[in-house]
């Protein structure tokens, strides 16, 4: 039973950052805005806003189409089943990470519980300690500059383990220093193998080692990604 441990008491942990104007974004991505379209104050019958922004704003998920064209096997976000976005979740903590950190296979193995290792179909979330900077709109430099990430070898290890999603509390799963080379090793390894990537998560450190994750996107035709409302359910047996 996938919900074992949730029968009696459970807690919901919100893993999403608030979507708002001026929130951090990758330098080449458009800003987010929420613009008044109709307003009762102006004599309209309803209040209604227009949303403008990129698919990869705030807490969001990457589809393989983000890095691979359809001719290369890339899938758009609506082509994934809902099952791809929910599942048993493992949380790994790396709070001492710096801009030079590239998580290795050995570091992942050191946090896998001997009696409960990462399994096929798991969702693996990496806590780097970067999430706390996301909502500091007065100083976005800390979140946007020199974040850590996964090494290519670590991404390959997770593919070998058969995970279906990898998430992080940084702007991207690749570290800044590898993003600047335009090689994107973690993105390429994961997405080429249809391992989804979720970025800009919050509160990962509040999760126990294992919980149950939900992070479903809109049914967005031809989307390369989509903002999500991510959360985890923690059962009484998992605290």
Indicate if the pLDDT at residue 108 is higher than 50. Answer: yes
Residue 67 lies in a domain: yes
Token pair 């991207």 in the structure block, residue: 172
- Cα distance between residue 170 and residue 143, in whole Å: 7
In terms of DSSP H, where are the helices of the chain? Answer: 105-111, 141-144, 152-161, 176-179, 185-192
pLDDT at 146: 84
Residue 117 lies in a domain: yes
Residue 40 lies in a domain: no
Residue 49 lies in a domain: no
Please state the rounded mean pLDDT for residues 142-161: 92
* Mean pLDDT for all residues in the chain: 91
Q: What is the CATH number of the domain that holds 196?
A: 3.50.30.50
Residue 47 lies in a domain: no
Residue 61 lies in a domain: yes
pLDDT band at residue 2 using 50, 70 and 90 as cut-offs: low
- Cα distance between residue 46 and residue 97, in whole Å: 48
Q: What's the number of domains the chain is made of?
A: 1
* Torsion (CA) 196, 19, 128, 136 in degrees, nearest 10: 160
Residue 91 lies in a domain: yes
pLDDT at 3: 55
Residue 109 lies in a domain: yes
Domain range for 77 is 10-17+55-235
pLDDT at 231: 98
Burial state string for 198-209 with b = 16 or more CB within 10 A and e = fewer than 16:
bbbbbbbbebbe
- Cα distance between residue 115 and residue 47, in whole Å: 53
């Amino acid at each position: 039973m996938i919900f074992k441990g949730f029968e009696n008491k459970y807690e919901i942990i919100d893993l999403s950052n608030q979507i708002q104007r001026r929130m951090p974004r990758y330098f080449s991505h458009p800003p987010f805005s929420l613009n008044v379209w109709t307003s009762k104050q102006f004599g309209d019958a309803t209040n209604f806003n227009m949303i403008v922004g990129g698919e990869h704003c705030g807490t969001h998920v990457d589809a393989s189409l983000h890095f691979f064209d359809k001719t290369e096997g890339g899938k758009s976000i609506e082509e994934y089943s809902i099952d791809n976005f929910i599942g048993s979740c493992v949380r790994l903590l790396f709070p001492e990470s710096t801009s030079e950190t590239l998580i290795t296979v050995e570091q992942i193995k050191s946090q896998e519980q001997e009696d409960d290792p990462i399994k096929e179909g798991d969702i693996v979330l990496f806590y780097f300690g970067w999430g706390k900077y996301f909502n500091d709109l007065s100083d976005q430099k800390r979140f946007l500059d020199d974040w850590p990430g996964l090494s290519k070898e670590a991404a390959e290890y997770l593919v070998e383990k058969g995970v279906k999603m990898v998430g992080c509390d940084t702007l991207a799963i690749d570290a800044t220093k590898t993003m600047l080379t335009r090689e994107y090793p973690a993105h390429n390894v994961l997405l080429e193998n249809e391992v989804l990537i979720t970025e800009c998560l919050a509160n990962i450190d509040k999760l126990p080692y294992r919980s149950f994750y939900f992070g479903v996107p809109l049914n967005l035709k031809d989307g390369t990604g989509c903002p999500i409302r991510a959360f985890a359910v923690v059962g009484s047996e998992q605290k």
